[in-house]
C-alpha cells in the first residue's frame, strides 16, 4: 500500500516497519540490512517528506534514538504550524479538498512520536497539535479521505488516546446559539465511548461551544448539502442495448452495458457499477463468467 510514493526507499521502509511490527526484533539480518539502506538514504540527503515521515516511524519501531532525533528535527523544520495545529504538507498540494497523503504522513509522525522512549522536545504537548489537525480532517463518520490514510490515522489517534487516558474526569460541553438553543453534552467515564449528537436547526446560524471539566473530548460540527455537477462534466459514458428472445421455452432478455471513462484524471480509482435485475427475472449464471473475463478490461479504463 504505497500511497505517497513509489521508490525503493519507501518500499524498504514499508517492509522493515511491517517486520518490526510483526515481532519487534531489530536484530534480524534482513531488518538490519533494510535499516542500513534507510540510513544511507538519510545520509545521502533524501528529501521526500512522505518517506521521511515513514522512515521516522520505522526507526522508532527499531528503537534507534539517534535517527529518530535526526529525522524529527528535519520534519519539524518543514512542519506547518497554524492556530495550534501541526501537520505536514505535500509538495504540489492545493487547497481544494482533503489531501490523503498529508493525513497519512502526519499520522506516521504522530505514531513515531508516541513510541517510547519519548524524544526530547517532542512530548505530548507537541503531539496534541498534530491530533488537533487530524481531528479537523476527520469526516462525520470517523474516517478520512481514503482507506489507507484512515487506517494509519485511526491507529495514531488510538495510540494517542491510550497515552493520554485518565481513569477519572468529567467534562460538560455546552452548545448555545443566538436563536436561543442551549444543549449540554456530559462526558463521563461511564459514557466516554458513547457518540452523542444533536441537530442544529438554525442554518445558517452562529453557535458557541464551551467545555468545562478535566478530560479530553472531541466536538465536531458537520453540515450536509448538495451541489449539482457542472453541466459540462461527465466522468463516464454509459450505453446500453437490450435484446429479447421469446422463442425459447424460458424467454431470455439480454442486457449489454458498456462503460467508458473519459474524466479529467489519468485513472478512475475504484469504480462500482450496480445493475439491478428487472422484477420477475433471474440472472443467467453463465453471464457472470463473461463479466469476470472482462474484469481486466474494466480495470484498464
Q: Over the stretch 85-138, which tens digit does the pLDDT of each residue have?
A: 999 998 776 665 568 889 999 999 999 999 989 899 999 999 999 999 999 999
Please report the pLDDT score of residue 32 as a whole number: 94
Pick from 97, 70, 68, 100: nearest CA to 87: 100
Q: How far apart are CA 209 and CA 215, in angstroms?
A: 16
Give, in order, the Cα–Cα distances in Å from 290 to each of 80, 242, 243: 51, 17, 17
Please report the pLDDT score of residue 106 as a whole number: 96
Report the CATH architecture of 8-163.
Answer: Alpha/alpha barrel (1.50)
Q: How far apart are CA 285 and CA 274, in angstroms?
A: 17
Please report the pLDDT score of residue 228 as a whole number: 84
* Dihedral of alpha carbons 51, 52, 53, 57, sign: positive
Please report the pLDDT score of residue 294 as a whole number: 61
Q: In whole numbers, what is the pLDDT of the chain averaged over residues?
A: 86
Q: How far apart are CA 46 and CA 8, in angstroms?
A: 12
Please report the pLDDT score of residue 97 as a whole number: 58
Please report the pLDDT score of residue 170 as a whole number: 93
DSSP class per residue in the chain: ---S--SHHHHHHHHHHHHHHHH--TTSHHHHHHHHHHHHHHHTT---HHHHHHHHHHHHHHT-HHHHHHHHHHHHHT-EEETTEEE-PPTT--SSS--HHHHHHHHHHHHHHTSSSPPTT-SHHHHHHHHHHHHHH--TTS--SSHHHHHHHHHHHHHHHHHT--S---EEEEEEETTS-EEEEEE-TTTTT---------SS--EEEEEEESS------------PPPTT--SEEEEEEEEEE-SSSS-EEEEEEEEEE--SSS---S-----PPPTT----THHHHHHHHTHHHHHH-
- 51 burial type by CB count under 10 A (0-12 exposed, 13-18 middle, 19+ buried): buried
| Positions in the chain whose pLDDT score sits under 50 | 296-301
Terminal Cα-to-Cα distance of the chain (whole angstroms): 21
Please report the pLDDT score of residue 288 as a whole number: 77
- Cell match 469504480: residue? 271
Indicate the domain borders of the chain: 8-163, 171-213, 236-300
Q: How far apart are CA 300 and CA 261, in angstroms?
A: 10
Amino acid at each position: 500500500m504505497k500511497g505517497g510514493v513509489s521508490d525503493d526507499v519507501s518500499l524498504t521502509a514499508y517492509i522493515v516497519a511491517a517486520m518490526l511490527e510483526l515481532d519487534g526484533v531489530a536484530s534480524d539480518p534482513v531488518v538490519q540490512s533494510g535499516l542500513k539502506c534507510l540510513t544511507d538514504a538519510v545520509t545521502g540527503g533524501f528529501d521526500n517528506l512522505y518517506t521521511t515521515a515513514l522512515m521516522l516511524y520505522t526507526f522508532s519501531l527499531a528503537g534507534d534514538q539517534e535517527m529518530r532525533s535526526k529525522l524529527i528535527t528535519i520534519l519539524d523544520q518543514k512542519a506547518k504550524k497554524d492556530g495550534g495545529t501541526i501537520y505536514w504538507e505535500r509538495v504540489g498540494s492545493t487547497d481544494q479538498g482533503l489531501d490523503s497523503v498529508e493525513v497519512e504522513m502526519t499520522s506516521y509522525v504522530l505514531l513515531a512520536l508516541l513510541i517510547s522512549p519519548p524524544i526530547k522536545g517532542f512530548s505530548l504537548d507537541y503531539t496534541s497539535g498534530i491530533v488537533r489537525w487530524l481531528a479537523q480532517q476527520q469526516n462525520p463518520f470517523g474516517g478520512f479521505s481514503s482507506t489507507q490514510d484512515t487506517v494509519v490515522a485511526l491507529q495514531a489517534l488510538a495510540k494517542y488516546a491510550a497515552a493520554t487516558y485518565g481513569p477519572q474526569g468529567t467534562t460538560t460541553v455546552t452548545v448555545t446559539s443566538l436563536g436561543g438553543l442551549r444543549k449540554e453534552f456530559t462526558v463521563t467515564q461511564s459514557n466516554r465511548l458513547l457518540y452523542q449528537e444533536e441537530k442544529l436547526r438554525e442554518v445558517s446560524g452562529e453557535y458557541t461551544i464551551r467545555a468545562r471539566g478535566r478530560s479530553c473530548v472531541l466536538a465536531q460540527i458537520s453540515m450536509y448539502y448538495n451541489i449539482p455537477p457542472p453541466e459540462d462534466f461527465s466522468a463516464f459514458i454509459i450505453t446500453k442495448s437490450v435484446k429479447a428472445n421469446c422463442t425459447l421455452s424460458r424467454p431470455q432478455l439480454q442486457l449489454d452495458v458498456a462503460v467508458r471513462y473519459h474524466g479529467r484524471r489519468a485513472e478512475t480509482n475504484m469504480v462500482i457499477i450496480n445493475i439491478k435485475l428487472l422484477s420477475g427475472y433471474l440472472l443467467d449464471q453463465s453471464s457472470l463468467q463473461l463479466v469476470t473475463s472482462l474484469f481486466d478490461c474494466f480495470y484498464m479504463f
